Structure 1
Amino acid sequence: MASLKRLLIGSPMETKRLKHEKLPKWKALAVFSSDALSSVAYATEEILLVLMLFGTSVFFYSLPIALAILGLLLIVTLSYRQIIYAFPSGGGAYVVARDHLSTTTSLVAGAALMIDYILTVAVSISSGVAALTSAFPSLLPWKVEIAIALVLLLMILNLRGITESATVFAYPTYLFIISVLVLIAVGGWQLWHEGWHGFNYKEHASAEHFFTSGYGMFILLRAFASGCSAMTGVEAISNGVPAFKPDSSKNAAITMGWMSLLLGTMFLGITILAAGFGVTPMEHKTVISQIGHHVFGNSVFFYLFQMITMLILILAANTSFAGFPQLVSIIANDRFLPRSLAARGDRLVFSNGIILLSALSILLIVVFQGETHSLIPLYAVGVFLSFTIGQSGMIKKIWKEKEKKNIATLATIMTGTFVTGLVTVITILAKFTQGAWLVIVAIPLLVIMFYKVRHHYEKLGQQLKLDEKEWREREKIVKPKVIIPISGVSKVVAQSVQYARSISNDITAISIIFHEEEEQKLRAKWEKFYPDIELKVIYSPYRTILSPLLDYINDVEKETKGSPITVLMPQFIVKKWWHALLHNQTAIVLRFFLTIKKDVVVATLPYHLKE
């Protein structure tokens, strides 16, 4: 098992190497931005899927909706750059709210971000598999199995370490950026020469009467909310600032600027091409796939583009593998999650967080059968809720620091808070019946869980705290009563008796027999070697060992009235693993039942066999 682990994730790394496991900007862009950049593969399609409710005559509205989303992206980028500089330790909205709002608000932000990261993996992997099945429809029946295998592959790659996984993911990310920019350039050139032959303003004008009603405006807002999936992952850089090389805040802020510029350019370009070519959503064929087919035809470039798109959508999940473990480690250090999530593994990554993220993502993929459109409605609620909370915390921080107050910065963040708050409400209303209610229910349940974990740790701390009075009481040594379960007299038992004599003068050996005539033989042999130690023999007519043994220990526990009892378990250790199958495991079961007793200490004294 150990050799397999070393093969999969590599040799352990010393703690002092952690300072070298930092990312340069070009690698960090791939690690922390792949989710946001890859969302251009499905964000436009999500807008069109909603507008389809009114038919293709309203598809022209995808362009103003895209422009509105770009405006929102600009505001959020400017706001989160301030968070990066103000909180170089990472944690994003959770840390901002913890330090400047309230504990409950910070936990809401933490829960929202955790859900967002889990959904990112499920959506990205499912979208990547959708891109693959668009080019190779014969793989459709296996989409769930393929998705699960890809999650496991990403898990193993991330367990290998930060810099190693970053190198693997960097090149496909840049290949995707280049391929999309080439797609936009070639597609734009085709539109310039062939003319606009898709959805136009005349069709839009003829459909204006549909939007005079409240329902029509609701559909537009719902399309806007769906398109905001393009902004998922934008906050990841602020959560992972410590992963950047020094000056970490400056490098993170620069990386976020480049990410937003690339994201905006690619999202707007694909939306324009979709409208210009008249692309409509189709089952089993994505919008970006149709654009690629229109631009590159049925050539090898189309299939290459599909493979690159599939690859980046799969690798987009790596943003969560970089952000989720970092976030839960911070929450765990605050004692709202199990402490094991704050521990770094062999390769200096938060291994338990990576494994937890993988397991929860696989669960979502299985439950929703890898359907991207079923997962998307759950997506943006947590994203924009955390945006709103994070920026609200920044407003309070800046307002407190009056001598350093920057009016322009404050105005930008206040605008961002208002807009993202509005988008949160729109998203909840627009997607509530589609599945967003699950997230709305899940967030408070997670917050309740956080508080229960914290309450447990607080109670544990109170019970384990050692004051001077109790220390003095415990310093008064009370030797325990020792009980040694035996089945006969042997070297294993002799070793146990020898050890028992070193810790106590009150020793009792106990044996459970199935035939009454066995007692005389056992007593004769016992008294030959240990006449000074009491032997208790219990006859078990129903041939059970555990029940009479536990009953005896319970009786002794009542007699001693709180005095310590040590049950010393003699156990021989076999040389080969399969030899263990040849012997009963009563000691293991007995140990399980005795560990829950307050005043009983269970100790195993191993005797190692040579063969």
Structure 2
Amino acid sequence: MRKLVALPVLSADALSSVAYGPEAMLAVLVLAGAAGLRYSVPIAVTIVFLMLAVGVSYRQTIRAYPHGGGSYIVATANLGRLPGLTAAAGLVTDYILTVAVSIASGMAAVTSAVPSLEPDIVPIGVVVIAVLLAGNLRGVRQAGALFAAPTYAFVLAVLVLVAVGLSDAAGHGFHPTATPQPTATEGISLLLVLRAFASGSTAMTGIEAISNAVPAFQPTEWRNARTTLTWMIGLLVTLFAGTIALVHLDGVVPRANETVLSQLAHRTFGSGFLYVFTQAATAAVLLLAANTAYNDFPRVLYLLARDHQAPRIFLRLGDRLAFSNGIILLSVAAAAIYTAFGGKTGPLIPLYAVGVFLAFTLSQAGMVVHWWRLRDRHWRKSLAFNATGAVLSAIVFVTAGITKFTEGAWFAVLMVGLFILVTTRIRHHYDTVGAAIALHPHAVEVPSRTITPPSSGDGATRATARTPGTAPGAPPGTTADAESEETPEEIHPLSIVPIASLNLAGMRALAYAASLQQPVLALHISPSADEAQRFREYWNLWGDHLPLKIVLSPYRAIVAPLVNYIESLHHQRPDLTLTVILPEIVVRHWRHRLLHNRLAARLRRALRPLPKVVVTTVPFHV
């Protein structure tokens, strides 16, 4: 992506948080009445400093990880597996709540302009999530132009709002308007100030997105990513500080039925076109900010599944090259949380801050260890930046966890703990299965002879000279009846064994196929040429006892390449009866079945229309 496209695509989450971050801070301070609201400017200044510190820290992350360095990757590489899982837990929580909070804030912007929709915010929000689900399953998320217009419209609307508001304030000598006297329900305390600071810090969500997506930029990728991150931080600070300044000058306080941003737009623009434009742009960018989670959440699950810490179904790409299972899980979880909290932003904010700053803290702490180990040029300066970001992020995380624990932060902490427990148990199961099926010296007897198909060519796939569709021995041009065999002698079999790796389960399937005394073809689906060459070397080391065909599938799809290959072979040799023999891991407990691909069932459904194709499995019990 060009920088002008990457900025709105990757910054929608961060920039849109201006719509709810300042309001979340004010909603806490207003509990102490007018005296509490006087702390809004000092707290906002502290948050701006935090934004700059974390932004500079992530510039160092981009330099150190030019191929993309999200919290999970950085924490795992530098701190270990458990801190990496903790960072992933924070990210997963963050992305689910990003959808829920963004939809809730978007609905708040809509109902501020159209109050009659207030009773229907839950069903409307669920419908919006369903639309995002359908769009992402169809690959709509790839269109950068869809992100660019609403994000730039929102930035323009808030910049105009701040400029006009400050211009009007300048005409009055920047004297603040008298603040309405809200009824104080709490006294001023350190705990209240810290709660407000933690709530306002949610305006920093999404800062990590650019460091995750460095390879998506045009060359030189890391340099363009750092430049885009600098633009994003500059815009975020400007929009956040400008909004707080207008709140202070106009004496605005949070209301139950209208957002702070809507109040500012009403006071500055009236109820005309600019007000409608501001609210429409706010709603649109918040909905698209929800969509940014659909880019990152499935990818985190993919990385976890690649490391055997999440079910393997999250490795699978759909027909539109999207991680369909991760997208569906995100939608279901976000819709459930959004519904449970009644579509309100306020109750969701305490949950939000915990996951966001847990991931920030571990990422920056990982970078401190990275620079300490590397010690290259300017490593001390980089370490200092990342250490500052880690300390400040940790302060916000601890503050949010303690001050908002009873308000809902306990739920986020519980989600993180459950996530670590579940992923650890998944890793343990995969390690157990891996040890059970691993090859050991002298554990596998090689075939006593090489078994080859009757026809020559590349693994029994070359067609004979007769016309496709004719039976053996039939005159040219005669079409064979697809399933007319009535005696064993009329069946011409070929066994195909799809094999992912050389392990005991695969060896058992190959041995079973060879024991039938029929032609056998081993078939390997490989994601890259390097992986294909590696598997070929393993195969040759085993002895190359059976013909092997390797099919490249760069998008890690399994079923589609298998089906395409078998269909092609069927059309080439309609006289053959193809038996697809799959190794199958059979586990003892039902809960473990979800961790293993049900490849046989999917293949049966896909190959059912083809005649003379049999799908069977060879179970391997662990």
Per the normalisation by structure 2, the TM-score is 0.70
Matched residue type, 2:24: E
- Summarize the Cα distance change of 1:396–1:155 in structure 2 as closer, same or farther, 3 Å threshold: same
Does the 8 A contact of 1:59 with 1:199 survive in 2? no
1:408 corresponds in structure 2 to 381
1:428 to 394, 401, 410: 401
2:453 corresponds in structure 1 to none
1:511 corresponds in structure 2 to none
1:288 aligns with 2:266: no
1:178 aligns with 2:151: no
CA distance in 1: counterparts of 2:143 and 2:300, whole angstroms:
18
Shift, 1:194, TM fit: 3.4
- Summarize the Cα distance change of 1:500–1:306 in structure 2 as closer, same or farther, 3 Å threshold: same
CA distance in 2: counterparts of 1:195 and 1:371, whole angstroms:
37
CA displacement 1:189-214 (0-9 Å, x = unmatched): 1111135564679x99xx9x964xxx
1:55 aligns with 2:33: yes
1:356 aligns with 2:367: no
2:63 corresponds in structure 1 to 85
CA distance in 1: counterparts of 2:609 and 2:94, whole angstroms:
52
CA RMSD of aligned residues (A): 3.4
1:471 corresponds in structure 2 to 444
2:507 corresponds in structure 1 to none
CA distance in 1: counterparts of 2:427 and 2:490, whole angstroms:
40
2:202 corresponds in structure 1 to 229
Question: Secondary structure at the residue paired with 2:17?
Answer: helix
Question: Secondary structure at the residue paired with 1:369?
Answer: coil
CA displacement 1:180-234 (0-9 Å, x = unmatched): 1000001111111135564679x99xx9x964xxxx1111111111100100111
Q: Which moved more, 1:28-37 or 1:461-470?
A: 461-470
CA displacement 1:121-147 (0-9 Å, x = unmatched): 110011101110111111112211111
CA distance in 2: counterparts of 1:164 and 1:392, whole angstroms:
32
- Summarize the Cα distance change of 1:502–1:466 in structure 2 as closer, same or farther, 3 Å threshold: farther
- Summarize the Cα distance change of 1:92–1:496 in structure 2 as closer, same or farther, 3 Å threshold: farther
Q: Which moved more, 1:190-199 or 1:42-51?
A: 190-199
2:75 corresponds in structure 1 to 97
Matched residue type, 2:92: M
- Summarize the Cα distance change of 1:340–1:248 in structure 2 as closer, same or farther, 3 Å threshold: farther
Matched residue type, 2:330: L
- 1:438-449 alignment, distance < 5 Å: 438-449=411-422
CA distance in 2: counterparts of 1:447 and 1:384, whole angstroms:
17
Does the 8 A contact of 2:371 with 2:380 survive in 1? no
Does the 8 A contact of 2:372 with 2:379 survive in 1? no
1:346 aligns with 2:324: no
Shift, 1:434, TM fit: 0.4
CA distance in 1: counterparts of 2:50 and 2:256, whole angstroms:
30
1:549 corresponds in structure 2 to none
CA distance in 2: counterparts of 1:392 and 1:115, whole angstroms:
20
1:141 to 119, 122, 141: 119
CA displacement 1:42-100 (0-9 Å, x = unmatched): 11111111111110233121111111001011110111111112112324111111111
1:127 to 87, 105, 108: 105
CA distance in 2: counterparts of 1:125 and 1:210, whole angstroms:
33
- Summarize the Cα distance change of 1:388–1:596 in structure 2 as closer, same or farther, 3 Å threshold: closer
CA distance in 2: counterparts of 1:32 and 1:595, whole angstroms:
41
Does the 8 A contact of 1:162 with 1:349 survive in 2? no
Q: Where in structure 2 are there 5+ consecutive unaligned residues?
A: 451-481, 494-514, 517-583, 589-599, 612-622
Shift, 1:251, TM fit: 1.6
Q: Which moved more, 1:444-453 or 1:83-92?
A: 83-92
Does the 8 A contact of 2:141 with 2:291 survive in 1? no
1:189 aligns with 2:162: no
CA distance in 2: counterparts of 1:474 and 1:133, whole angstroms:
72
CA distance in 2: counterparts of 1:457 and 1:114, whole angstroms:
21
Shift, 1:28, TM fit: 1.6
CA displacement 1:576-600 (0-9 Å, x = unmatched): xxxxxxxxxxxxxxxxxx99799xx
Does the 8 A contact of 1:279 with 1:287 survive in 2? yes
- Summarize the Cα distance change of 1:403–1:45 in structure 2 as closer, same or farther, 3 Å threshold: closer
- Summarize the Cα distance change of 1:394–1:227 in structure 2 as closer, same or farther, 3 Å threshold: same
CA distance in 2: counterparts of 1:71 and 1:415, whole angstroms:
11
- Summarize the Cα distance change of 1:597–1:68 in structure 2 as closer, same or farther, 3 Å threshold: closer
Shift, 1:403, TM fit: 4.4
2:95 corresponds in structure 1 to 117
1:383 aligns with 2:356: yes
More helix by share: 1
2:135 to 129, 138, 157: 157
Matched residue type, 2:90: A
CA distance in 1: counterparts of 2:255 and 2:17, whole angstroms:
18
Q: Percent identity?
A: 42
Does the 8 A contact of 2:61 with 2:69 survive in 1? no
- Summarize the Cα distance change of 1:122–1:210 in structure 2 as closer, same or farther, 3 Å threshold: closer
Question: Secondary structure at the residue paired with 1:379?
Answer: helix
1:311 to 284, 304, 307: 284
CA distance in 1: counterparts of 2:230 and 2:319, whole angstroms:
33
User: Whose Rg is larger?
Assistant: 1
Does the 8 A contact of 2:157 with 2:278 survive in 1? yes
Matched residue type, 2:257: H
CA displacement 1:132-186 (0-9 Å, x = unmatched): 0111111112211111121222233333447743221111100110111000001
- 1:201-240 alignment, distance < 5 Å: 211=188, 216-240=189-213
Question: Secondary structure at the residue paired with 1:317?
Answer: helix
2:520 corresponds in structure 1 to none
CA displacement 1:520-561 (0-9 Å, x = unmatched): xxxxxxxxxxxxxxxxxxxxxxxxxxxxxxxxxxxxxxxxxx
Does the 8 A contact of 2:101 with 2:349 survive in 1? yes
1:30 corresponds in structure 2 to 8
2:434 corresponds in structure 1 to 461
2:42 to 37, 58, 64: 64
How many residues get paired? Answer: 477
Shift, 1:279, TM fit: 0.7
Matched residue type, 1:268: A
Question: Secondary structure at the residue paired with 2:105?
Answer: helix
- Summarize the Cα distance change of 1:157–1:197 in structure 2 as closer, same or farther, 3 Å threshold: farther
Does the 8 A contact of 2:254 with 2:260 survive in 1? yes
Shift, 1:105, TM fit: 0.4
Question: Secondary structure at the residue paired with 2:321?
Answer: coil
Question: Secondary structure at the residue paired with 2:143?
Answer: helix
CA distance in 2: counterparts of 1:502 and 1:401, whole angstroms:
62
CA distance in 2: counterparts of 1:450 and 1:146, whole angstroms:
34
Q: Which moved more, 1:335-344 or 1:60-69?
A: 335-344
Does the 8 A contact of 2:485 with 2:491 survive in 1? no
Per the normalisation by structure 1, the TM-score is 0.72
Question: Secondary structure at the residue paired with 2:343?
Answer: coil
CA distance in 1: counterparts of 2:368 and 2:206, whole angstroms:
22
CA distance in 2: counterparts of 1:250 and 1:288, whole angstroms:
34
Question: Secondary structure at the residue paired with 2:39?
Answer: helix
Shift, 1:118, TM fit: 0.7
CA distance in 1: counterparts of 2:587 and 2:260, whole angstroms:
63
- Summarize the Cα distance change of 1:474–1:388 in structure 2 as closer, same or farther, 3 Å threshold: same
